[in-house]
C-alpha cells in the first residue's frame, strides 16, 4: 500500500541553523508529493509540492526535491527562524486519486 | 477568499453518546474531504466527496460513522455511538478540480473531540 515515513521529532535547532527533515515514501506509480505545515493554533497549510520526479518545490526559503530513485522528498532550509517552529507533515497523492496520505509529522522547535 | 469553516471547534462527550461536526468548504470547491487526526499521528482520510457523491469511504467505520454532503456544498460528519478511541481532531478540507490531480487541498481549523 501507500505510506509515508518521516523522521521522528522533536527537532530542536538554534536560529540560523540548517534544517533537514527526512521523508521517504512507498507508492505504486508516480505519486505527487507535498509538505504541509501546522503552526501552533492554526490549521494545516500547504508549504510546497512536486508532481514529478526531479521536480523541486520551494516556498518561504524551504525546498524539497522529488527523488524517485531513493523514494524521498526531504525538506530543507538553509537558515531557520523562530517563526518556523511548527509541525511539518510530508504527504503523497496517488496517481489518479485526490486524497492525501500523510506521514506522522515532525515537530520543529527553533530557539533564539 | 474565505477559508474552510468548521464547527464546533471543541467537543467533549461521554462514550456511547452521539456527536456531529459541520463543514463549509471554500465556495466553488467540488471536492470535500474528512480526515481524522489522532494525537501524534498524521491525518487519515475518512471520506471523500465529489460534489454530493461519495468517491472514497473505504476507511470510514460505517458501523458508527456517517457523513453526508447535501446539495454539494456543506457537509456533516456524525459519530453514533462514540468510543474512547474516537478522540481526535476531525479535519475538513476542500479542493477544486481546475488544477487536475495536483490541485491544492485547503484545510479547516478542525474540531477537537474528546470522548470520556
Grid coordinates in use for A8? 521522528
Q: Which one, of A81, A75, A103, A92, lies nearest residue A34 by Cα?
A: A92
> Is there a contact between A46 and B101 if contact means CB atoms under 8 Å apart?
no
pLDDT tier for residue A66 given thresholds of 50, 70 and 90: very high
pLDDT tier for residue A12 given thresholds of 50, 70 and 90: very high
Candidates B4, B104, B105: best to mutate against A (most CBs of A within 10 A) is B105
Whether the CA torsion B92, B30, A47, B45 is positive or negative: it is positive
Residue B1 clears pLDDT 70, i.e. is over it: no
* Alpha carbon distance A73, B100 (integer Å): 21
CB-based contact (8 Å) between B24 and chain A? Answer: no
Contact map slice: B 69-108 vs A, CB within 8 A: 91, 93, 95, 101-108
Grid coordinates in use for A48? 510546497
pLDDT in tens, B24-38: 999 989 899 999 999
DSSP-derived letter for residue B104 is: P
What pLDDT score does B97 carry?
65
What pLDDT score does A43 carry?
86
**DSSP character string of B17-70:** --EEEEEE--TT--EEEEEEE-TTS--EEEEEEETTEEEE-TTS-TTTEEEE-G
Amino acid at each position: 500500500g501507500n505510506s509515508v515515513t518521516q523522521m521522528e521529532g522533536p527537532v530542536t535547532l538554534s536560529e540560523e541553523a540548517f534544517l533537514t527533515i527526512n521523508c521517504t515514501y512507498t507508492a505504486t506509480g508516480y505519486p505527487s508529493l507535498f509538505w504541509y505545515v501546522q503552526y501552533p493554533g492554526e490549521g494545516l497549510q500547504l508549504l510546497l509540492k512536486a508532481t514529478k520526479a526531479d521536480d523541486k518545490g520551494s516556498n518561504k526559503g524551504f525546498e524539497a526535491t522529488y527523488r524517485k530513485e531513493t523514494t524521498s522528498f526531504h525538506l530543507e532550509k538553509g537558515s531557520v527562524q523562530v517563526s518556523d517552529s511548527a509541525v511539518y507533515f510530508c504527504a503523497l497523492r496517488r496517481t489518479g486519486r485526490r486524497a492525501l496520505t500523510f506521514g506522522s509529522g515532525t515537530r520543529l522547535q527553533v530557539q533564539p | 477568499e474565505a477559508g474552510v469553516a468548521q464547527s464546533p471547534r471543541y467537543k467533549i462527550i461521554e462514550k456511547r453518546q452521539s456527536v456531529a461536526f459541520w463543514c463549509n468548504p471554500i465556495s466553488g470547491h467540488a471536492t470535500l474531504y474528512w480526515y481524522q487526526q489522532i494525537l501524534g499521528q498524521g491525518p487519515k482520510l475518512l471520506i471523500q466527496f465529489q460534489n454530493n457523491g461519495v468517491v472514497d469511504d473505504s476507511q470510514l467505520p460505517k458501523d458508527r460513522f456517517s457523513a453526508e454532503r447535501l446539495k454539494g456544498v456543506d457537509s456533516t460528519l456524525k459519530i453514533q455511538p462514540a468510543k474512547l478511541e474516537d478522540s481526535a481532531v476531525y479535519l475538513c478540507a476542500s479542493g477544486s478540480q481546475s488544477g487536475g490531480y495536483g490541485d491544492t487541498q485547503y484545510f479547516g481549523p478542525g474540531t477537537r473531540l474528546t470522548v470520556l
